[in-house]
């Protein structure tokens, strides 16, 4: 079968390309999925370079998301012909991922396809959409249902989807992006205001600034998150899910002890399966958005070039990989 495979060819040297490999065999409590769609994420791009923080087992098939139809099943939970999705856990990290024609996975990782949504649309969302939905859900759980919110890294997968969901729910969205030419794109997604990264990512020595935003969806970390925290209103909330700017956070306690601000970490990889199922149900209903503005549909043959775009920060929205 066809698969996008990363191979170790020397000490800290790797190759990544489309090749032929054997169709996997399933073990007890596993299922075999005939892949229809997958997607590309930043973590996939890192894996394609042999990043040891993502992948240590080679040869390796990339793809932390997969959607398809059950081809074989050794689980009583899923039957042949069921439409299913898998995101996160070890998929595409040290277990072979979704960038292939067939993939075997533990049944405990699998989510049945929700009603009211196609497998194609589910993979446009993918891990990025699940992360965005979990972030928005934390804001709603905090009791915040309206007002000005800020989304950092807004042209990325998580950011783009978060902008769209928040705008649909009636929030006034401010998007932060380093891509000036994508301001019209962000406005079309629903952003009321776009602030360029160079105008926001300025280290300010003041421990707090004027209260402006009731919530923040941060996808980049670093100084951008630190500056956003200073501008959150009393009893506001920030969610944090990424580190493309930096894993470091140089902040102070004043927003937390004087304004009651909460900072919530978001992890969509190891979230328990029930939490994922609930989030996917919301995505297929109240969080459902128009997706075609977000999507770049590609084939397995085009993955390598797409990874270069992701790693060079040229990617916008979501890459959807059509397998079969």
| pLDDT tens, position by position, 216-249 | 999 999 999 999 999 999 999 999 999 989 999 9
> Residues 8-46: pLDDT tens digits?
998 888 999 999 999 999 999 999 999 999 999 999 999
Closest residue by Cα to residue 38 from 1, 85, 96: 85
The DSSP-derived string for 146-161 is SSEEEESSTTSHHHHH
For tokens 């007002």, the residue is: 147
What is the H or E stretch that residue 66 is in?
strand 65-73
User: Residue 216: which of 287, 179, 266 has the closest Cα?
Assistant: 266
State both tokens at 170. Answer: 């009636």
Q: Is the peptide bond before 59 cis (omega within 30 degrees of 0)?
A: yes
Can you give the pTM of this predicted structure? 0.92
Cα-based distances in Å from 151 to 173, 220, 227: 7, 10, 13
DSSP 277-302: HHHHHHHTTTT----TTTEEEEEGGG
Q: What's the pLDDT band for 53 if we cut at 50, 70, 90?
A: confident
Helix H segments across 77-118? Answer: none
pLDDT of residue 314: 86
Q: By the 8 A CB rule, do 125 and 283 touch?
A: yes
Return all residues near 187 (Cβ < 8 A) that are at least 6 apart. Answer: 194
135 touches 275 (CB < 8 A): no
For the chain, the average pLDDT equals: 95
Q: Which residues of 233-243 are buried (b: 16+ CB within 10 A; e: fewer)?
A: beebbbbbbbb
Q: What is the band of 204 on the pLDDT scale with cuts at 50, 70, 90?
A: confident
* Structural domains for the chain: 2-116+291-322 (3.90.180.10), 127-265 (3.40.50.720)
Per-residue pLDDT tens over the stretch 182-197 = 999 999 999 999 999 9
Distance in Å from the first CA to the final CA of the chain: 12
Measure Cα distances from 188 to 16, 294, 318 in Å.
Answer: 35, 10, 15
Reported as a pLDDT band with limits 50, 70 and 90, residue 255 is very high
CA 237 to chain centre: 20
Q: Specify the residue for token string 């930096």.
A: 246
pLDDT digits (tens, 9 = 90+) for 68-121: 999 999 999 999 999 999 999 999 999 999 999 999 999 999 999 999 999 999
Residue 181 DSSP one-character state: G
- Within a 10 A sphere around the Cβ of 76, how many other Cβ atoms? 8
Q: Are 152 and 134 in contact (CB under 8 A)?
A: no
**Rg of the chain, C-alpha, whole Å:** 20
87 closest CA partner among 33, 141, 17, 164: 33
Average pLDDT over residues 295-310: 94
Cis status of the peptide bond prior to 309, with omega within 30 of 0: no
């Amino acid at each position: 079968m066809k698969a996008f495979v990363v191979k170790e060819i020397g000490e800290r040297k790797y190759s990544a390309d489309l090749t032929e490999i054997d169709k996997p065999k399933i073990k007890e409590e596993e299922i075999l999925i005939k892949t229809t769609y997958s997607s590309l994420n930043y973590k996939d791009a890192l894996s394609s370079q042999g990043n040891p923080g993502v992948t240590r087992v080679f040869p390796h098939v990339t793809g932390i998301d997969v959607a398809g139809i059950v081809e074989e099943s050794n689980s009583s939970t899923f039957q042949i012909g069921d439409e299913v999705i898998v995101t996160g856990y070890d998929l595409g990290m040290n277990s072979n991922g979704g960038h292939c024609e067939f993939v075997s996975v533990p049944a405990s990782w699998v989510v049945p396809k929700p009603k009211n949504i196609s497998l194609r649309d589910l993979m446009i969302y993918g891990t990025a959409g699940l992360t965005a939905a979990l972030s928005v859900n934390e804001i709603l759980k905090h009791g915040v249902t309206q007002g000005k919110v800020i989304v950092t890294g807004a042209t990325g997968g998580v950011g783009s989807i978060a902008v769209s969901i928040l705008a649909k729910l009636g929030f006034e969205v401010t998007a932060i992006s380093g891509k000036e030419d994508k301001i019209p794109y962000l406005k079309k997604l629903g952003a009321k205001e776009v602030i360029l990264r160079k105008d926001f990512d300025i280290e300010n020595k003041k421990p707090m600034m004027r209260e402006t935003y009731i919530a923040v969806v941060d996808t980049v970390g670093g100084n951008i998150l630190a500056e956003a925290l200073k501008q959150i209103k009393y009893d506001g909330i920030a969610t944090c899910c990424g580190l493309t700017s930096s894993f470091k956070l140089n902040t102070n306690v004043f927003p937390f002890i004087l304004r009651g601000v909460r900072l919530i970490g978001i992890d969509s990889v190891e979230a328990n399966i029930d939490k994922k199922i609930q989030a996917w149900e919301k995505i297929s209903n109240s969080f459902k958005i128009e997706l075609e503005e977000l999507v770049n549909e590609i084939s397995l043959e085009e993955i390598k070039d797409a990874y270069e775009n992701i790693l060079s920060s040229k990617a916008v929205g979501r890459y959807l990989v059509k397998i079969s």
